[in-house]
């Protein structure tokens, strides 16, 4: 590891409590702003849902239901994280795999905590079976966590672009299916991305060392 890399690693390690604290506070403030409008009579929520009801068709419903399967249930909550973690381990991202698993688990936990805390009613015209609590969207939180963690681990532009596209498509599919209000998906995005950043802080130095060692072997 070069002197510059060691300096960066030390800076991250020493300042991770500050980074985590600021990220957590920012997440809470942003999430609180969305939660403050959790009633089903929020204008932008109802307008968005009314507009989507007019566009419903089998052509859009099929991919939306596919996103529903990919982002939730046993597949999205268990199979996807396990599969991604295994792939990361096989590609010598062992610390990255641990970081990914912990971030995914904590993100899901925070989502369930908020769902139980606010117990917001879902839209009436829902097309899929869903659990209690509309805020925040667990599917979107899961997608955002995946996007941010893999972006941090792999540090590739195409990974960030693909992650953002996946998260946005998940937001659209959840509101299209009537499973969530628009503000629920925004809340899920904040929770997922926020938890990924908070958990990244204590892993940052280890991820940097792992990346440096892997680059040396490749060279």
Q: Is residue 204 part of a domain?
A: yes
Cβ neighbours of residue 188 under 8 Å, at least 6 residues apart? 111, 136, 137, 138, 139, 140, 141, 144, 171, 180
**Under 8 Å between Cβ of 137 and 176:** no
pTM exceeding 0.75: yes
**Average pLDDT of the segment spanning 40-46:** 70
Q: What is the pLDDT of residues 19-36, one digit of tens each?
A: 665 665 466 556 655 555
Question: How many folded domains does the chain comprise?
Answer: 1
**Under 8 Å between Cβ of 42 and 181:** yes
**Under 8 Å between Cβ of 2 and 10:** no
Cβ neighbours of residue 1 under 8 Å, at least 6 residues apart? 9, 209, 212
Position 25 scores a pLDDT of 47
What range defines the domain where residue 152 resides?
Answer: 3-214
For the record, the structure tokens of 55 come out as 């566009």
Taking the alpha carbons of 125, 126, 127, 129 in that order, is the dihedral positive or negative?
A: negative
Q: Is residue 196 part of a domain?
A: yes
Q: What is the pLDDT of residues 184-217, one digit of tens each?
A: 898 889 888 888 888 888 888 888 888 888 777 6
Q: What is the pLDDT of residues 78-88, one digit of tens each?
A: 889 999 999 99
Residue with tokens 């097309």: 127
Q: Is residue 219 part of a domain?
A: no
Q: Is residue 150 part of a domain?
A: yes
Whole-number Å distance between alpha carbons of 145 and 12: 21
Q: What is the pLDDT of residues 119-178, one digit of tens each?
A: 888 888 888 888 778 888 999 999 999 999 999 999 899 999 999 999 999 999 999 998
């Amino acid at each position: 590891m070069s002197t510059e890399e060691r300096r960066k690693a030390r800076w991250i390690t020493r300042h991770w409590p500050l980074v985590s604290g600021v990220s957590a506070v920012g997440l809470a403030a942003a999430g609180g702003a969305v939660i403050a409008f959790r009633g089903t009579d929020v204008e932008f929520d109802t307008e968005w849902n009314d507009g989507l009801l007019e566009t419903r068709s089998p052509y859009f419903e099929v991919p939306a239901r596919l996103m529903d399967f990919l982002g939730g249930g046993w597949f999205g909550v268990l199979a996807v994280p396990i599969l991604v973690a295994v792939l990361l381990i096989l590609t010598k991202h062992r610390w990255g795999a641990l970081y990914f698993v912990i971030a995914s688990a904590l993100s899901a936990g925070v989502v369930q905590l908020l769902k139980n805390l606010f117990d917001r009613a879902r839209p009436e015209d829902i097309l899929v079976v869903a659990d209690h609590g509309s805020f925040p969207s667990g599917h979107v939180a899961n997608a955002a966590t995946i996007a941010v963690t893999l972006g941090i681990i792999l540090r590739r532009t195409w990974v960030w672009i693909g992650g953002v596209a996946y998260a946005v498509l998940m937001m659209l599919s959840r509101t299209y299916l009537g499973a969530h209000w628009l503000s629920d998906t925004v809340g899920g995005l904040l929770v997922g991305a926020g938890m990924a950043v908070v958990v990244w802080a204590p892993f940052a130095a280890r991820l940097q060392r792992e990346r440096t060692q892997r680059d040396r072997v490749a060279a």
